[in-house]
Amino acid sequence: MANRKLDQKSQSGGSYHKAVPYRFPRMAAMEGVTFSATTPKPSKTIELQTCTSREPEYSYVHLELISTSPNASTAPLDALQVRSMLSTALSRFMGIMGNAVSPDVLKVEATEAWVRVPRQDLSMLTAALTAWSGARDGNVEFTLRAKEAGNWLGCMVGRQGQESLWS
């Protein structure tokens, strides 16, 4: 009835216009969205703790002792030898800055070793090992080769297990 009166007045030259509901521009995108005051049901599972580490504090390097002489019998490595070789390579490559890097020898097994270094020093260590010519014992030269390097030790150990599975 009210609309009819508005239409009649607008036809008769009155000052009333047909009523059109105003639409807010931001509300147009929310058509079909309903809001309710009910709270969601609580979940039956409880998340104890979630942690994501994007930048780990340490990086890991898997090293291998290589001899230049094919018939040389390589004595098994020990942690002291690995530490000595690494500090020699770092000090020759970077000088005093190389002495500041402190690698931690985690495990030594036959001719292989696993070393932990601060993440920001990983590139310095791998570059020093690449540039280092090695050590000499009589006629035999020994050097360390970085087989793998990465931020996650578990991934590196897993890859080694895969290699032994298929060979």
Sign of CA dihedral 133, 136, 140, 143: negative
SS3 of residue 131 by DSSP: helix
SS percent in the chain: helix, strand, coil, step 5 = 35, 20, 40
Q: Residue 101 pLDDT > 60, yes or no?
A: yes
Q: What CATH number matches the domain at 58-166, 3.40.50.2300, 3.90.1150.10, 3.30.70.3250, 3.40.190.150?
A: 3.30.70.3250
Q: Which of 138, 122, 149 is nearest to 57 (CA)?
A: 122
CA distances from 107 to 78, 85, 115, 126, 134 (A): 9, 15, 7, 18, 21
Q: Spell out where 8-161 has E strands.
A: 58-67, 104-109, 112-118, 135-137, 140-150
d(CA 64, CA 52): 31
Q: Spell out where the chain has E strands.
A: 58-67, 104-109, 112-118, 135-137, 140-150
Position 29 scores a pLDDT of: 55
Position 60 scores a pLDDT of: 94
Q: Percent of the chain, pLDDT > 70?
A: 67
CA distances from 84 to 65, 80, 81, 106, 134 (A): 13, 6, 5, 14, 11
Q: Residue 94 pLDDT > 70, yes or no?
A: yes
Position 85 scores a pLDDT of: 92
Please compute the mean of the pLDDT values over residues 44-73 and round it to a whole number.
80
Please compute the mean of the pLDDT values over residues 111-139 and round it to a whole number.
90
> pLDDT tens digits, residue range 18-56?
555 555 555 555 565 555 566 667 777 777 777 777 788
d(CA 133, CA 27): 71
Please compute the mean of the pLDDT values over residues 45-73 and round it to a whole number.
80
What's the pTM? 0.63
Position 160 scores a pLDDT of: 64
Position 57 scores a pLDDT of: 92
